[in-house]
Amino acid sequence: MKLNTFSKNITVNLALSGMMAALVFVATMFFKVQIPVAGDKTMLGFANVFCILSGLLLGPVYGGLAAGIGSCLFDLVGGWATSAPVTLVTKFMMAFLCGLITWGGSGSAKKLSRVIAGAVTGSLAYCALYIGYSWLKMAVLGSAWQAINIQLSVKIPVTLINAVLADVIAVPLFFAVRNALRRNHLHA
């Protein structure tokens, strides 16, 4: 497995990882609709597009770090600070799994089927982690089962819509961005 799939130059990898983390942060901060739900909130937005794109472009480690750090920074400044550690882990895992599947074999990222499989797996893994965390948090806090059902009846469809949006936008965007980076000798 190639962990450094983006470039042989660590400076390029770090710079582009920082740029992707910034894009994740900006997308989360400005391109969202917050949905209040029974004493909690969830978001419909484009942040997951850049989390998946990070995994596709940068591979598992750099992509995971970009997605996790960008999302965690938003949580810290955007009013979700108590969720920041969990967000760091769940968004990292989304991009990590996406990058791992996409770049898991020799020349794998050239195959559309491998890119789609990576994106879908990363998105679905995040859905499971986010919904599982939401359920566990409410159950541990002693929420009534009716309240848990109400929250999950909103969070599950919103999370799935975010996953579909992320995959539908990130996959073609990956091929366009990767080709542009290759023309500039910045991508493996």
Residue 7's CB: how many other CB atoms inside 10 A? 19
Query: What confidence tens digit (pLDDT) does each residue in 7-42 have?
Result: 667 888 899 999 999 999 999 999 989 888 766 778
7, 187 in Cβ contact below 8 A? yes
Predicted TM-score (pTM) of the model is 0.91
- pLDDT grade, residue 107 (50/70/90)? low
Measure the CA–CA gap between 152 and 106, rounded to whole angstroms.
Answer: 40
Average pLDDT of the chain is 90
Domains located in the chain, CATH noted? 10-183 (1.10.1760.20)
Structure token pair of residue 135: 């359920």
Residue 120 half-sphere exposure toward CB, CA atoms < 13 A: 6
The rounded percent of the chain whose pLDDT value lies above 70 is 90
- pLDDT grade, residue 108 (50/70/90)? low
